[in-house]
Structure 1
Amino acid sequence: MNTKVKDSLIVLQGKWKTGKTTLSPTNQDLNQDLPVFGSRVYCESYSLDHAATEEGGGSTVLKSNDTSSAIVAQASSVPLSASSSAEEELFTLMSRRKNESANYSTLGNLLFSVLIIQRARNAFHSGRTKPVEFREKQLNQLLRLYEENVPEMLTALSTDLRKSKQESLMTEIEYMKNDLKNTIHNLREWAKPEKPPKGFVNMLDGVLIYNDPYGVVLIMGAWNYPLQLALLPMAGAIAAGNTVILKPSEVSPASAQLIAKLMPKYLDQECFHVVLGGVPETTQLLKEKFDYIFYTGSTEVGKIVRRAANEHLTPVTLELGGKSPVYLDNTADLEMAVKRIMWGKCINAGQTCIAPDYLLCSKQVEKEFVSKAKTILKEWYGEKSKESPDLCRIVTDRHYQRLVGLLKGGTVAVGGETDASEKFISPTIIVDVKPTDPIMQEEIFGPILPVVNVESAFDAIKFINSREEPLTLYVFTTDKKVRELILSQTRSGSTCINDTLMHFKPLAFYIFTKSSKDRDLLINNVSCGGVCCNDTIMHLTVDTLPFGGVGNSGIGSYHGKYSFDTFTHKKSCLVKDFNGLGEKLAASRYPPYSEKKIAMLGFLLKKRTGVSLKYLPHLVMFGLGIAATFGFRAIAQV
């Protein structure tokens, strides 16, 4: 098929009628006509190779059959021209239909995604995202989006997850506003070329690292924090100078629709776009070439994203999950530890990637923990926790049924109430749990906390290291040696000491103990994304800490400056002048070679430890200046 046409080319696979030609189907009904202005449109399938064309200035309308199945739209090798008035008209029409209809068709979303990817690429290549002033303006606009639409955000979050006002403000809105303000304040400093240390051989040269944007970035958000997990990485991508295709999760539809509604009102419509939809749209997006992909979600889907990215050698950040363990010993303040652990487990109904997944403690600590947890949960949520306005609901019936199935292992010591009509599960603690029980085989992602008994920090390390790396490791202890032991002997994405969630292989590991010996033992011997000692979740709020996983819990990190770095390619640059002194120093590299030149190269290239050469060029020039001054004086006296 000849694809060299004057106007844009869009390839469609599916069943269509154009004039007298009927084409073969793939799979999903489509109830709208597709206008194509001033372009050739090739329609092809596995069995047919027909082309429907309308040349000249008129337009063609492709009408779908009533029984037509899912249409897959993909861009051809012929780029869409951003300057084409026909394509502008098509894009405008598609945008209007998209905004007017909440039930926008699968084909509409797929074709729309094809158009916007090319528009985003054209915008990036035009250079409009490179100036820091443009980035600052867009970040300020994103901040305005948050400041001016809080009521709508609260409504969307309540609709999707029945989040309370305080929880929504704390975890989704104020958190994001603070991150944006921090990014705006520091952006100019972050964007400056970096000046790394120089060696002796380059003392007269310019050695720089430029922070280059990747290009067109695909960001795929998650449903559990549908605003934060979509727009926080997007802020980093904007700060770095990229254009963005944002795909919110379809599992939180109210939040996704709100993002799609608000973004075009505040951000540059050439550079930043939203694609709505489910699996078909996501599948098609992953077939396209992006310059960077940022995905937040499950490990299973993360592997699919990674495989798709590998086809184009596209770099990725994968923010996944994992069973984040909590280690609690008898040195910790138990009442405070119970509050912090149960808060981390109950916030968002446990639907948090770094929520404490299971508790490791002795049998004696378990008894005291359960007793105090009963009292504290009653204080927080009352006798009938289902009536509390402060507890979220499980996001879908499928997730609810999965969690109910996990309640069958072990013995319910606290909670256990369920209501399918509301997708409600009360905060629950399960004891007598075996490592082989179903609840210990997958990330729970709900308000259920199983307790596994261990006798020491060494047993906890052995248990954690026998499983996949968690995103976060939580350590509750006051014993510094225990903390350092755990940190050095485990692997995780991050660690939080004596708290949960407030920091950001397990994704997280929580340790509660006063023993520094046990704390160090655990920190040094467990692999996880991060560690939080004597709290949960709270490490997430520290924007100077990178947040990310290791192994099955993810690849890469972000938050604060780390978000900027994630979406930035570090471009090395060496700048040499044509000065005689520098050329003299480097002349030993030229043939003919000799022992003398080998010795000179060895001297120049030798690594000099303990000596900073940062100011050596200035000292050399100062010395040369002094020598020149005395030389001129001597000449003048003659």
Structure 2
Amino acid sequence: MNIDEILEKQRLYFQSGATLSVDFRIEMLKKLRNVITKYEKEIACALKEDLGKSEYESYMCETGLVLSEISYMIRHVRKYARKHYVYTPLSQFAAVSYKQSVPYGNTLIMSPWNYPLLLTIDPLADAIAAGNTAIVKPSAYSPATSNLIDKMIKECFPSEYIAVVTGGRKENAALLEKKFDFIFFTGSQNVGKEVLRHAAEYLTPAVLELGGKSPCIVDKSAKIKLAAKRIVFGKYLNCGQTCVAPDYILCHESVKDQLIQEICLQIKKQFGEQPLENHDYGKIVNQKHFERLLGLIDQKKVIIGGEADQKVHKIAPTLMDQVTWEDAIMQEEIFGPILPVLTFNKIDEVIDVLADKPKPLAFYIFSEDKAVIQKLSNRCRYGGGCINDVIIHLATSEMGFGGVGESGMGAYHGKIGFDAFSHTKSIVDKKTWMDLPMRYQPYRKGLHEKLLHLFLR
């Protein structure tokens, strides 16, 4: 079945009203949860094949989070889908006013390769909860997981409701030429711009989850040992191929040496003396990205790591010192296991420097100084982040996750995800047993004018 046929069938299916019932949505979410649970072992194997992820990491960062989001939606969708009554101005008497969330309709979800299950199924769960149909386009760079997603979706749903389109750039381009009611895209900034250009042709609303160089600020008051432990975990998770990984460290000059020492100790503690031989340490997704990352490593500035295994596309956790803003590694999002360290002397320097940089997806502050934390949080612009930790802000359905400016637009997870895939109608239900006369012509001064002024005040 080609894309035009799938889309036409989905349009007809949505127009039939089949997806609108909340009971139907809950039933579909339960089917999705059941199939994810059924194929949990196969998911772990696919993620191992595509990205070298361990079974533990696969569940912690993908399968477990997916099941959590689906279960959250099952519990809350009935509340989100109901009418929400609001205050009605006296001038509209007699009437009631309410907001009603309704699905956009036929949606497109385009997902990346770095967390191929999580970043496909999470938005799909939100789309189903909101009452939409969906065409899902997983990445060609993670073929084992993409093929398994195709298998699971076909087992769960008819293609006129949810369909998977596999393939590469040709299929991406073909999908973007079509008219959808909503587009959800996760990926690079360059591709995100193309998605938005195509969406503009049809005035299609879109959520873009992009990336960027997410800074990790380490103040002189920070607990350095704990900071190093948490930074190493977040930076080298999934071999650094995480959109919210700390891209670089900006630390106070006075604690740089201590921080570097602790990071080196943590790399050895968490990944062993020979990280390339650690079976729980992931790999770079393909040769293209492997070569790109090697080109960013300046061996003269490497403190630890820098080794690579061409056969299995592995690069050891790498730390670089004496890095400047002009170095190659600071000109693009790293998206790999290389961590550069830069320094500052005053917090105001950090604010001034970052003000001229593209707004990042994530922002991390390690400090025990509340004034410093408040100043950085208020003055710096970014999608979201953590204080004295990294990455974990995205692992909850109670808060939206998304970027701002160059790192994206819109957000999802939980209620925010439901809202992202919904249009909120504002409706006034005007009663017919009374009709106030002052709004009608012919207009008269005097009592009507005073009453109108009173009602509208």
Structures share fold, TM-score greater than 0.5: yes
Count residues in correspondence: 456
Structure 1 vs Structure 2 CA RMSD: 1.1
Alignment pair present for 1:301 and 2:191 = yes
Alignment pair present for 1:421 and 2:311 = yes
State the partner residue of 2:122: 232
CA contact (8 A) 1:226 1:249 kept: yes
2:63 corresponds to which letter in structure 1?
I
SS in 2 for 1:573: strand
State the partner residue of 2:456: 605
Q: CA deviation at 1:203?
A: 5.0
State the partner residue of 2:69: 179
- Equivalent residue in structure 2 for 1:399, among 272, 289, 314: 289
Alignment pair present for 1:547 and 2:437 = no
Alignment of 1:260-409 (within 5 A): 260-408=150-298
Q: CA deviation at 1:410?
A: 6.3
Q: CA deviation at 1:595?
A: 2.0
* Greater C-alpha Rg: 1
CA contact (8 A) 1:458 1:521 kept: no
In structure 2, relative to structure 1, the CA distance for the partners of 1:409 and 1:436 (3 Å cut) is farther
Question: TM-score, normalization: structure 2?
Answer: 0.98
Q: CA deviation at 1:510?
A: 0.4
| Per-residue CA distance 1:346-376 (angstroms, 9 max, x = gap) | 1001101000001111223111111111111
Return the alpha-carbon distance in structure 1 between the equivalents of residues 350 and 357 of structure 2.
11
| Per-residue CA distance 1:583-638 (angstroms, 9 max, x = gap) | 1xx311112212222221111011xxxxxxxxxxxxxxxxxxxxxxxxxxxxxxxx
- Equivalent residue in structure 1 for 2:54, among 140, 153, 164: 164
The farther-off stretch of 439-448 and 266-275 is 266-275
CA contact (8 A) 1:548 1:558 kept: yes
Tell which has more relative contact order, 1 or 2 (C-alpha 8 A, sep 6+). 2
State the partner residue of 2:411: 557
Alignment of 1:101-116 (within 5 A): 112-116=2-6
SS in 2 for 1:318: strand
Alignment of 1:501-580 (within 5 A): 508-580=362-434
CA contact (8 A) 2:385 2:391 kept: no
Q: CA deviation at 1:199?
A: 2.0
Alignment of 1:135-174 (within 5 A): 135-174=25-64
CA contact (8 A) 2:299 2:306 kept: no
Return the alpha-carbon distance in structure 1 between the equivalents of residues 123 and 179 of structure 2.
19
Q: CA deviation at 1:545?
A: 1.1
| Per-residue CA distance 1:197-234 (angstroms, 9 max, x = gap) | 22222353110111110110000011000011011001
CA contact (8 A) 1:410 1:431 kept: no
Return the alpha-carbon distance in structure 2 between the equivalents of residues 466 and 451 of structure 1.
19
Alignment pair present for 1:243 and 2:133 = yes
Return the alpha-carbon distance in structure 2 between the equivalents of residues 177 and 576 of structure 1.
43
State the partner residue of 2:445: 595
Q: CA deviation at 1:409?
A: 7.4
1:601 corresponds to which letter in structure 2?
L
| Per-residue CA distance 1:368-427 (angstroms, 9 max, x = gap) | 111111111111111111111221100010101110011027611121111211111111
Alignment pair present for 1:446 and 2:336 = yes
Q: CA deviation at 1:270?
A: 2.1
2:315 corresponds to which letter in structure 1?
I
SS in 1 for 2:36: helix
State the partner residue of 1:208: 98
Question: TM-score, normalization: structure 1?
Answer: 0.70
CA contact (8 A) 1:523 1:531 kept: no
SS in 1 for 2:388: strand
Alignment pair present for 1:118 and 2:8 = yes
Return the alpha-carbon distance in structure 1 between the equivalents of residues 334 and 25 of structure 2.
39
CA contact (8 A) 1:359 1:452 kept: yes
The farther-off stretch of 217-226 and 571-580 is 571-580
- Equivalent residue in structure 1 for 2:109, among 184, 197, 219: 219
Taking only the aligned residue pairs, the percentage that are identical comes to 41
CA contact (8 A) 1:381 1:388 kept: yes
CA contact (8 A) 2:303 2:318 kept: yes
| Per-residue CA distance 1:121-140 (angstroms, 9 max, x = gap) | 11101110011111111100
Large movers: runs of 4+ above 4 Å: none
Return the alpha-carbon distance in structure 1 between the equivalents of residues 58 and 40 of structure 2.
10
Return the alpha-carbon distance in structure 2 between the equivalents of residues 297 and 269 of structure 1.
25
2:441 corresponds to which letter in structure 1?
P
Return the alpha-carbon distance in structure 2 between the equivalents of residues 527 and 409 of structure 1.
33
Q: CA deviation at 1:260?
A: 0.8
SS in 2 for 1:509: strand
